[in-house]
């Protein structure tokens, strides 16, 4: 168990915590969980615009036409095959024994479209599923098993703590240390980032939907749930030496090579909450909670995001079908709001002709420094 007193944490652990603060910025950007919703932050509440500004500043520059977070990725396409086991939990059509097509995206954390794959601790999967009853479900999942901090305020502070100092081009260590001291719960995420094994591929990475949702079945019964996409591809670990030697784009290269040999599959595993389980995504549920495999994500092809179908999709996690509802998880509404701002900004970049690289029409990306 983590000690709640920052002063009691060994120096080596404090150093590890600071080292992984930059990675946790990815969590903040991925969760994007920080817009104001319903006046959470009082009279000086945050807005989705203000938070998106902070993310752009923390990135060091704005890459025109690209997502403000998880800028580097590839489009994927395929289908979700329900097995019928989810019908008792939710009336969503895709849980029936049918195939539901999707347009998806696999990505790495960070704000640069030219980030190094082997340096990105966080990987992500996003899906837009279009069921045959005319409804959509959009999902955004990540490789971390929980969020690093527990509140909207903390996410915003985390983003600001990782903003580069203009004089050095790097975050201010004193500011990072102050953040870590103020949020000792962050040590848990730092421990995961430092010690969890790195997988060799998107194909053998587990993607977790750490937010809580409500499933509603045809009888009107409601159950809080979380889910993960668990790969059928066997896990293989990546050593630090292998990461140092890896190509900058090895994840996309590996994915294309695997798909040339056949489809890639992830099982959708739903975890069922009990009444007193928290909805805050920084808090894990006990391991003994029931799990149900409700179907399989099947990726059939990949394409460059600059010209692929995923480029102009906003993977808003609140686009939900009948049978799936948002919970009281405060992160969800905030993610939706900031995703919208980010989407509108990059689409404006494209419409204004300022995003040649993002659309495949220029060799180098446009940016504001």
- Catalytic residue numbers read 70
Taking residue 343's Cβ as centre, other Cβ atoms within 10 Å add up to 17
Q: Is the dihedral of CA 52, 58, 62, 65 positive or negative?
A: negative
Rounded Cα gap, residues 349 and 343, in angstroms: 10
Gap between the Cα atoms of 356 and 240, Å rounded: 35
Region label for 110, one of left (φ > 0), alpha (ψ between -120 and 50) or beta (otherwise): left
């Amino acid at each position: 168990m983590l000690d709640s007193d920052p002063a009691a944490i060994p120096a080596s652990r404090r150093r590890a915590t600071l080292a992984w603060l930059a990675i946790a910025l990815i969590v903040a950007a991925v969760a994007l969980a920080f817009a104001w919703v319903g006046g959470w932050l009082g009279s000086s509440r945050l807005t989705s615009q203000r938070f998106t500004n902070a993310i752009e500043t923390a990135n060091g520059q704005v890459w025109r036409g690209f997502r403000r977070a998880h800028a580097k990725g590839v489009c994927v396409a395929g289908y979700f095959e329900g097995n019928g086991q989810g019908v008792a939990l939710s009336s969503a059509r895709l849980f029936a024994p049918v195939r539901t097509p999707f347009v998806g995206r696999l990505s790495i954390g960070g704000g640069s479209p030219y980030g190094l794959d082997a340096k990105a601790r966080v990987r992500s999967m996003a899906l837009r599923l279009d069921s045959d009853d005319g409804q959509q479900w959009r999902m955004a999942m990540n490789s971390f098993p929980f969020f690093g901090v527990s509140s909207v305020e903390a996410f915003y502070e985390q983003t600001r703590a990782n903003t580069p100092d203009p004089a050095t081009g790097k975050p201010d260590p004193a500011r990072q240390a102050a953040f870590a001291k103020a949020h000792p719960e962050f040590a848990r995420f730092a421990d995961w980032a430092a010690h969890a094994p790195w997988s060799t591929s998107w194909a053998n990475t587990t993607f977790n939907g750490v937010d809580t949702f409500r499933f509603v079945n045809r009888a009107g019964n409601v159950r809080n749930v979380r889910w993960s996409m668990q790969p059928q591809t066997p896990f293989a670990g990546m050593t630090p030496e292998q990461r140092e030697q890896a190509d900058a784009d090895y994840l996309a290269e590996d994915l294309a090579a695997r798909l040339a040999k056949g489809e890639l599959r992830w099982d959708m595993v739903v975890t069922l909450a009990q009444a007193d389980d928290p909805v805050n995504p920084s808090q894990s549920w006990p391991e003994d909670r029931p799990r149900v495999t409700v179907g399989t994500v099947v990726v059939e092809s990949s394409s460059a995001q600059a010209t692929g179908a995923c480029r102009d999709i906003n993977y808003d996690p609140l686009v939900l079908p009948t049978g799936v509802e948002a919970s009281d998880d405060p992160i969800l509404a905030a993610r939706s709001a900031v995703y919208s701002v980010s989407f509108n900004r990059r689409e404006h970049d494209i419409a204004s002709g300022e995003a040649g690289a993002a659309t495949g029409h220029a060799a180098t990306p446009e940016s504001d420094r």
